Amino acid sequence: MMDIHEILEHLPHRYPFLLVDRVLELEPGKSIHAYKNVTINEPFFVGHFPHHPVMPGVLIMEALAQAAGILSFKSMDEMPSPDTVFYFAGIDDARFKRPVLPGDQLHLHVEIERQMRGVWKYKAEARVDGLLAAEARLMCAKRDL
């Protein structure tokens, strides 16, 4: 398990773009289960949508990618550095099954499918109350700056 302090050590993201609150399970080289508490105080709810707040799908994908980043750093036994960055390189087969609303706890499940020459591929699912909210195959690439 990782609390927010350890998450901050493993991700370069900060408020308002940090989208992982806690890691519940992590098996390096395999998978991660993390979550994001979705609150009405999120800055994106002001405009998406004022009359019916819904978490944007692109931010659900970003939350999954951040969980994948934590998994990758832990799998490599590395910490982020100013000399390298993990870029979100691709999304395939993205599907959105239900809206994510204020008050939801968005559970992020990511599995490594493969890793080769700094490119990582993952299978990712986001769930609320055990129900599938979104799924995709993600790709991230580690690059030196």
To which residue do tokens 């819904």 refer?
A: 54
Q: What angle do CA 1, 135, 3 make, to 5 degrees?
A: 15
- CA–CA separation, 56 vs 72, rounded Å? 25
48 catalytic residue (yes or no): yes
b/e sequence 118-131, b meaning 16+ C-beta within 10 Å: eebbbbbbbbbeee
Q: Which of 5, 10, 48, 109 is catalytic?
A: 48
Tell me if residue 13 falls in helix, strand or coil.
Answer: coil
Task: Show Cβ contacts of residue 25 under 8 Å, excluding neighbours closer than 6 positions.
Answer: 1, 31, 32, 33
- Catalytic residue numbers? 48
